[in-house]
Structure 1
Amino acid sequence: MNDALNNTSPTKSSMYLYLVCLVAALGGFLFGFDTAVISGTISLVKSDFNLSPVSEGWFVSCALLGCIFGVSFSGKLSDRYGRRIVLIISAVLFLTSAIGCMLSVSFTFLIVFRLVGGLGIGVASMVSPLYISEFAPSRLRGMMVSLYQLALTIGIVLAYFSNAYLADHTGVIHNTEVMTRIFSTEVWRAMLGLGALPAGVFLLCLFLVPESPRWLLLQGQERKAADILVKIDGAEAAGREIQAFKAQGDIRKGSIIELFTPVYRKALWIGLLLPFLSQVCGINAVIYYGPRILEQAGFTLNNALGGQVTIGLVNVVFTFVAIFTVDKWGRRPLLMVGIGGAVVSLLIIGALFAFGITSGPWILLFILAFIACFAFSFGPVCWVVVGEIFPNAIRGEAMALATLSLWIGNFLVGQLTPLMLAGLGSSWTFWIFALCCSPALLLTWKLIPETKGRTLEDIEAHWKKDYEH
């Protein structure tokens, strides 16, 4: 056992592991909340600021521009300055955005603070799962990273509920002119500002969590890393982790160019394609345009909105399937079963629309089946896999590329879904989503290795062995 381990004093604490990972997962909660809360504010903001269609679209989509910029700089920053400090930056951005949107004096200021929120989403969407994947022990890494996706889905559902509650309780708080404006006459301010509460909690908690032990090892801070690893998983496991890391030699001067060499070509393809395909399967089309799709199936608006809440709840519940099975059954089985089920569900939904079978519960039933399949496979397992497959020295920058791929897919779906629904109809829209989803089965079968229970160093070594043979 090395000197750093001999001198460590902490003892293993499962509670410590879970609490730290839950704090990091709050980044996912804020991501989900900030993304979904906009749905309840669009008509209100449009009315208050008398927006043109172009301005309305800019209000909805401007955060995406912030996301792209956020992802672009978060990888390099997290590799250079650490994962924790970049998470703190994301929390500050979320907090600034929520308060700024709530108090905006003009539409221009509202857009500026939505862009700031987008920066926070972009940073959190990359760094939160990265931090958890490096922090959690190998045998629990899948479960811990899946907490990020669970927090994201909970954030979406709570955004729906908070929007509905605030819309139904306008005028409850009216003791001052400012409060009346926020909670009554312009309630969209309260909807957007509510995000300041979880953002503040996230920011405070981040000052209590440690840096990623693998990043510390990359910086040569072995003693600090050993203290954390012992506290996470005990001295024996910590010793194995450090020895495996040292066996790689000096990797502190890694370059993103390495990712484009033949050794890591498969990892690069997985990192770019899996996140992209997880978006073009249509998940956000169902979440964002759920009411419109259900209305086309004959649901009334109130029933459609109720169906959207049901969609959100199913998304949360079935994420637990991944949490409790991803480290037991493995990544590949969950992806194969879930993606296969998603493709079948999308094909059936398209057929129901094509044959006019829109009365009764069938459309909603198979939409929920699609959501359930996504929730225990694509949703969480995508983050697990992309957090594992990249080399230690460039994991931050590599995950930034993967996350950027996800946001490109998200953007395409968001822009094209209304056009497809209007021009092609619901049936062809869902069949196209099924077609776009299908390549993920081939990707999983041919390229993605099973990584359950393997250390990050072992996975990195796998690519080198695979290339040599």
Structure 2
Amino acid sequence: MGNSDVSSSSNDVTAEHTQRDLEMYTPKPSKTHRLASILSIVCAGAALISDGYQNSLMTMTNVLFGIKYKKEYTSTVSTRVSNALLVGEILGQVVIGLTCDYMGRKTALVATTCLIVVGGILATAAHGTTTDGMFWMLVVARGMVGFGAGGEYPASSTAASEAANEATLSQRGPIFVMVTNFPLAFGGPLAISIFLIVLSAAGQTHLSTVWRVCFGIGCIFPLTVFYFRIKMATSYLYKKGAIRKNVPYLLVLKYYWKTLIGTCGAWFLYDFITFPNGVFSATILASIVPDAATNLRKTGEWQLLLGTIALPGVVVGAILCNRIGRRATMMVGFSGYLVFGLIIGCAFEKLSKIVPLFVVFYGLMMSTGNLGPGDMIGLLSSESYATAVRGTCYGLSAALGKVGAAVGTQCFKPIQTNLGKKWTFIIAAICGVAGVLVTYFFIPHVTGEDLRIEDAKFEEYLLKNGWTGSLGATESAEDLKEDETNIELGDTPDESSEKS
């Protein structure tokens, strides 16, 4: 997983040396600890549905605001409200990424949960002396939600990856995808379904109630796992591989520069395509579906179909990642942007007159995105870096992705206005080609090996380059007692057979 500029002696670890390091890094866990790891996987990843829900909620809310506040909700205000979440996410990914490396995964997860809940409450209660003032309060509240939701990426994903490494190494990739990207992708159809239910209950004449209730419901998802996050166990990988002081960032950059270009670049391209196409997809549908401009329900129903078609790609990507490899799966996904982007873009005038066919092709384009970069970029960002800097590098990669999302959101409407709607899909195809190239040349060939192997390589590299710090988090008395208990209760295969 190291880069080409690092000497082979620092990257190639002998079998004996690797085995010795693995034994040093992690004692044999007990069945109880394995169960705790499984619970940590679920609790770490489950609340990522918050980010998927919050992002997708703006898809229909943009249309609602355009109907309810026709004069006040200009293109500038729409972009400002949509980008508030993105700006918050960028800051959250960087800050929480550093936090989860310095202070631990659990501390970061508790902090992100609190931010999402408080920000969601403020968004639900957004008011002002003028409508413009209300939108400014919404911008601030959505920024707070974004900070928490953005922090979920490095905190949840690193915790889930490390827990999966301890619980079930051979299936770490598929499990990681299903507890991280699947909740993110499922948040889209869920947000639309809840929107339609609330709209049916409140009616088209009470749109203010509709959007406030939908924002309020977004506070529930992180609260469902809040207690379990407080109680979740700290992984052995973090306890033995963390660097709490004197982090050698210059050496980290020298060692991982090529991988960072790969994960940051691929994430930028993916979010540049998928985020604006997600946020403004309802706007696109409203422009081609008859009477949809005034009928929120009709737009929502087509949007729900679009999100549902995109969802199976997540499952397919989880299946493929172990069979053809992480990097190959991501290239297949980016190639889907090329194929379906060109089909929709080149035949836009004809497809837009056949709404079901347009939605199917649009959904397939989004589905291949989920299959490839949607699934793999988070997995690769969690597997390609050592435990000591996993949160930091993951957060940086995700933050560059959200920069791409912000740029894409800012450019989306000008592209539609000046070049036409079809060019949003043609540009997606061009980005698909760029994504394949970035993946091929900069993403490392990760095979799903034990994360401790990368930790051993990284530590050896640091020591050979003069680093004098130490690895390992400062453990509390409770942590030390837990380790002793797990070692005492841990059964080796030989012991188990003798007992049986």
Q: TM-score, normalised by structure 1?
A: 0.81
User: Out of 124, 132, 141, which is 1:113 matched to?
Assistant: 141
2:261 aligned partner: 269
2:382 is equivalent to residue 382 of structure 1 = no
Could you tell me which runs of 5 or more consecutive residues in structure 1 were left unpaired when the two chains were aligned: 172-182, 220-249
Q: Does the 8 Å contact 2:281/2:303 carry over to 1? A: yes
Whichever residue aligns with residue 315 of structure 1, its letter is: A
2:252 is equivalent to residue 199 of structure 1 = no
Q: Matched residue of 2:284: which SS? A: helix
Q: How many residue pairs align between the two structures?
A: 424
Q: Does the 8 Å contact 2:271/2:405 carry over to 1? A: yes
Q: Matched residue of 1:450: which SS? A: coil
Q: How does 1:155-234 map to 2 (within 5 A)?
A: 155-170=187-202, 186-219=209-242
2:45 is equivalent to residue 25 of structure 1 = yes
Q: Does the 8 Å contact 2:382/2:394 carry over to 1? A: yes
Q: Does the 8 Å contact 1:129/1:148 carry over to 2? A: yes
Q: Matched residue of 1:51: which SS? A: coil
1:34 aligned partner: 54
2:359 is equivalent to residue 331 of structure 1 = no
Q: Does the 8 Å contact 1:255/1:394 carry over to 2? A: no
Query: Within 1, Cα distance between the matches of 2:70 and 2:430?
Result: 40
Query: Within 2, Cα distance between the matches of 1:4 and 1:439?
Result: 39
Identity, in percent, stands at 21
2:94 is equivalent to residue 72 of structure 1 = yes
2:279 is equivalent to residue 288 of structure 1 = yes
Deviations 1:80-121 (A, max 9, x none): 100111011000111111222223443254433222111111
Q: Bigger CA drift: 398-407 or 386-395?
A: 386-395
Q: TM-score, normalised by structure 2?
A: 0.76
Choose between structure 1 and 2 for higher RCO, CA contacts under 8 A separated by at least 6 residues: 2
Query: Within 1, Cα distance between the matches of 2:362 and 2:59?
Result: 19
Whichever residue aligns with residue 289 of structure 1, its letter is: F
2:247 is equivalent to residue 254 of structure 1 = yes
2:146 is equivalent to residue 128 of structure 1 = no
- Cα RMSD between the aligned structures? 3.2
Query: 1:380: Cα distance to partner?
Result: 1.0
1:243 aligned partner: none
Deviations 1:312-367 (A, max 9, x none): 1122222111223322332123122222222111111111126x443334322321
Q: Does the 8 Å contact 1:83/1:127 carry over to 2? A: yes
Change (3 A) 1:14 1:461: closer
Change (3 A) 1:465 1:432: farther
2:485 aligned partner: none
Deviations 1:122-175 (A, max 9, x none): 11122211221222124222112212000011122111111111111018xxxx
Change (3 A) 1:350 1:340: same
Query: 1:31: Cα distance to partner?
Result: 0.7
Change (3 A) 1:50 1:299: closer
Q: Does the 8 Å contact 1:389/1:460 carry over to 2? A: no
Could you tell me which runs of 5 or more consecutive residues in structure 2 were left unpaired when the two chains were aligned: 1-19, 129-133, 465-500
Q: Does the 8 Å contact 2:38/2:163 carry over to 1? A: no
Q: Does the 8 Å contact 1:331/1:452 carry over to 2? A: yes
Q: Does the 8 Å contact 1:38/1:192 carry over to 2? A: no
Whichever residue aligns with residue 93 of structure 2, its letter is: V
Q: Does the 8 Å contact 1:134/1:214 carry over to 2? A: yes
Query: 1:407: Cα distance to partner?
Result: 0.5
Whichever residue aligns with residue 75 of structure 1, its letter is: G
Change (3 A) 1:13 1:77: closer
Query: Within 1, Cα distance between the matches of 2:330 and 2:207?
Result: 46
Change (3 A) 1:346 1:4: closer
Deviations 1:417-456 (A, max 9, x none): 1111111112222111111221221223233233233122
